[in-house]
Amino acid sequence: MPLASPRACLSIRRVLAIQVSVVGSGSEHEERAEAVGRLLAEGGATVVTGGRGEVMAAAARGAKAAGGTTIGILPTETREGLNEWIDHVVVTGIGHARNLAVVASGDAVIAVGGRYGTLAEIGFALTLGRTVVVLEPGWEVEGTQHAQTPEEAVEFALAAARHTPVT
């Protein structure tokens, strides 16, 4: 079987899936986070989270229910504490610094609830030039977009990840 010519190899283009990071915490936000994960997967995006519980688990659960792919980026040196809906795990051993890896891995970021770790993730994401969509009620941070529903949050995030305007 003949090998492809070098010229033919130059025309091969790699197509990467869109990845959207879902950040946040708080069991009271799980229903909305699960809807966000499901809608992202239905939109063809891979869902990236911190891999643990509450909002992170709910977003991953929603993605898996829709047949999507999930990535969990853990702060620890082992897989302990990983939620059951994660397909691919990254064990970092770097504690809270893993928040940077979570948002850097997304083409856009959706914040659902959360505390100071979420606020740090929003700051990192904005510093990296990522679009951050805050699902209300949520943090008021300059430079973020605000969405009233999971559907609106996903629409904004996917449009930003695809570099297409929302009409």
User: What tens digit of pLDDT does each residue of 9-22 get?
Assistant: 555 556 678 999 99
Q: Report d(CA 34, CA 61) in Å as an integer.
A: 6
**Residue at 9 is within a domain:** no
Identify the pLDDT of residue 166.
62
CA dist., res. 125 & res. 149, Å (int): 21
Q: What's the number of CA atoms in the CB half-sphere (13 Å) around residue 121?
A: 33
Residue 1 resides in a domain: no
Mean pLDDT of 19-36: 97
pLDDT of the residue at 39? 98
Alpha carbon 105 to chain centroid, angstroms:
7
pTM here? 0.90
**7 located within any domain:** no
Which phi and psi angles does 6 have, rounded to 5°? Answer: -55, -35
What's the domain count of the chain? 1
pLDDT in tens, 32-89: 999 999 999 999 999 999 999 999 999 999 999 999 999 999 999 999 999 999 999 9
113: CATH: 3.40.50.450
